[in-house]
C-alpha cells in the first residue's frame, strides 16, 4: 500500500515538477531580481551599481510627473476599452450565435484582426490615418479626413481605443458566443412561455448564465489595457506632448532610453502591485455574480 502511494506521489511529481520549474524560472526568478534591482541605481549595462535603498520608490511618489500621467492615461484607457470592447463584442456575439449560413463567415471576419500582431495593426492604421485620409480628403474635400488624428491629445486617445477594440473584438466575441450557445434552450423556452420579452430574457437568463464568459472577458480586457504598449510604441510614441504615454511605455523609456534600470524596475513593482489589486477586486466581483447565477 505504501509502495503504491510512493509511486503515485513520484508520478505526480514527475508531471507537475516541469510545470512548476518553468513557472518559477520564467516568473519567480525575474520577480526576485526586480526586487533586488529596485533598490539600486544602475544603468542596466555597467558593472557598477549604487545602493540607494528606497530612494527610487520615493522618487516615483514625489517627483515623477510623467509616470503618474501614464497612470492616468492607462486608467482612462482601461475604463473606455473594457466597457466598449465587452459591450460591442457581446452585441456582435448575440447576432453571430444565431444559426445562419453567413454566421461562420461573419465570425471569421471579426476574428481575423485578432490574429494580426498589434505592431502590424498599428502600421496599417498609421497608413490609413496618414496617406489614406489625405488621398480621401483630396478626392472628397471632406474636412473629416483632414483632421489631425494623432496630432491632438483627445483624438489620439480615441484612435488608440478604437484600434485596440477593433483588433481584439473577435477574441471576446468568440468567448461570448461559447457562453451564449451553452445556455440551456429549456430555460429560454420556459421564459418565452411565461411571457418574458427579449430584453427580460436577456437580462434575467442569458446574462446570469454567461457570467463565467463575462468574468474571463473582463479579466483579459483589463489586463490587456494595463499592459498596452505595442500601439503606443509604433503608432504614437507617447505623443503628442506625452499625452498617450502608458505606464508600460514609461517603464520602457526609463529603462532603455534614460538608462535608469533600477528606477524602471521600481516602477514595474509598483505597477504590478496596483494591477494585482485591481484584478483581484474585479475577479471577486464577477465571481460573486457567477455564484448568484
Pairwise CA distance, residues 133 & 18, whole Å: 52
- Per-residue model confidence (pLDDT) at position 1: 58
Question: What is the set of domains in the chain, with CATH numbers?
Answer: 65-292 (1.10.3720.10)
- Per-residue model confidence (pLDDT) at position 67: 93
In the DSSP assignment, the letter for residue 98 is S
- Per-residue model confidence (pLDDT) at position 2: 65
For residue 291, what are the CA distances in angstroms to 22, 146, 184, 270, 287? 33, 51, 18, 32, 6
* Positions of the chain with pLDDT lower than 70, given as ranges: 1-2, 101, 289-293
What is the per-residue pLDDT across 263-280, written as a single tens digit (0 to 9) for each?
999 999 999 998 889 888
Pairwise CA distance, residues 52 & 262, whole Å: 9
- Per-residue model confidence (pLDDT) at position 293: 45
Going by C-beta distance under 8 Å and a sequence separation of 6 or more, which residues neighbour residue 176?
A: 89, 90, 93, 94, 97, 210, 213, 214, 217
Pairwise CA distance, residues 183 & 271, whole Å: 38
Query: What are the beta bridge partners of residue 132?
Result: none
Name the helix (H) or strand (E) containing 50: strand 50-51
In the DSSP assignment, the letter for residue 244 is T
Residue 184 zone, left/alpha/beta (φ > 0; ψ -120 to 50; rest): beta
Provide the 10 A C-beta neighbour count for residue 105.
10
- Start-to-end Cα distance in the chain: 44
Q: Do residues 193 and 227 lie in contact, with contact meaning Cβ atoms separated by under 8 Å?
A: no
Cell digits of residue 35? 526586487
Query: What are the beta bridge partners of residue 50?
Result: 41
What is the per-residue pLDDT across 83-92, written as a single tens digit (0 to 9) for each?
999 999 999 9
Query: What does the buried/exposed string (b/e) look like for 202-230 if buried means 16 or more CB atoms within 10 Å of the residue's CB?
Result: beebbbebbbbbbbbbbebbbebbbebeb
Going by C-beta distance under 8 Å and a sequence separation of 6 or more, which residues neighbour residue 265?
A: 34, 37, 38, 56, 255
Q: Grid cell 512548476 — which residue? A: 20
Q: Do residues 235 and 160 lie in contact, with contact meaning Cβ atoms separated by under 8 Å?
A: yes
Q: Do residues 63 and 267 lie in contact, with contact meaning Cβ atoms separated by under 8 Å?
A: no
Pairwise CA distance, residues 259 & 286, whole Å: 41
Amino acid at each position: 500500500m505504501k509502495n503504491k502511494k510512493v509511486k503515485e506521489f513520484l508520478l505526480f511529481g514527475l508531471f507537475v515538477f516541469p510545470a512548476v520549474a518553468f513557472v518559477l524560472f520564467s516568473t519567480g526568478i525575474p520577480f526576485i531580481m526586480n526586487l533586488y534591482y529596485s533598490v539600486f541605481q544602475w544603468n542596466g549595462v555597467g558593472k557598477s551599481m549604487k545602493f540607494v535603498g528606497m530612494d527610487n520608490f520615493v522618487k516615483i511618489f514625489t517627483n515623477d510627473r510623467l509616470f503618474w500621467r501614464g497612470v492616468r492615461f492607462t486608467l482612462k484607457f482601461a475604463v473606455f476599452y473594457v466597457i466598449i470592447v465587452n459591450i460591442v463584442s457581446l452585441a456582435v456575439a448575440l447576432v453571430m450565435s444565431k444559426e445562419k449560413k453567413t454566421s461562420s463567415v461573419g465570425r471569421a471576419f471579426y476574428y481575423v484582426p485578432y490574429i494580426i500582431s498589434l505592431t502590424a495593426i498599428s502600421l496599417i492604421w498609421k497608413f490609413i490615418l496618414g496617406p489614406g485620409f489625405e488621398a480621401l480628403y483630396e478626392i472628397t474635400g471632406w474636412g473629416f479626413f483632414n483632421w489631425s488624428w494623432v496630432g491632438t491629445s483627445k483624438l489620439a486617445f480615441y484612435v488608440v481605443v478604437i484600434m485596440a477594440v477593433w483588433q481584439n473584438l473577435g477574441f471576446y466575441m468568440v468567448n461570448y458566443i461559447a457562453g451564449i450557445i451553452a445556455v440551456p434552450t429549456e430555460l429560454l423556452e420556459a421564459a418565452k412561455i411565461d411571457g418574458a420579452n427579449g430584453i427580460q430574457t436577456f437580462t434575467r437568463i442569458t446574462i446570469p448564465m454567461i457570467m463565467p464568459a463575462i468574468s474571463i472577458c473582463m479579466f483579459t480586457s483589463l489586463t490587456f489595457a494595463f499592459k498596452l504598449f505595442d500601439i503606443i510604441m509604433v503608432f504614437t510614441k507617447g505623443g503628442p506632448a506625452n499625452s498617450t504615454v502608458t505606464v508600460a511605455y514609461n517603464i520602457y523609456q526609463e529603462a532603455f532610453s534614460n538608462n535608469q534600470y533600477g528606477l524602471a524596475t521600481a516602477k514595474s513593482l509598483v505597477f504590478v502591485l496596483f494591477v494585482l489589486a485591481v484584478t483581484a477586486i474585479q475577479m471577486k466581483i464577477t465571481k460573486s455574480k457567477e455564484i448568484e447565477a
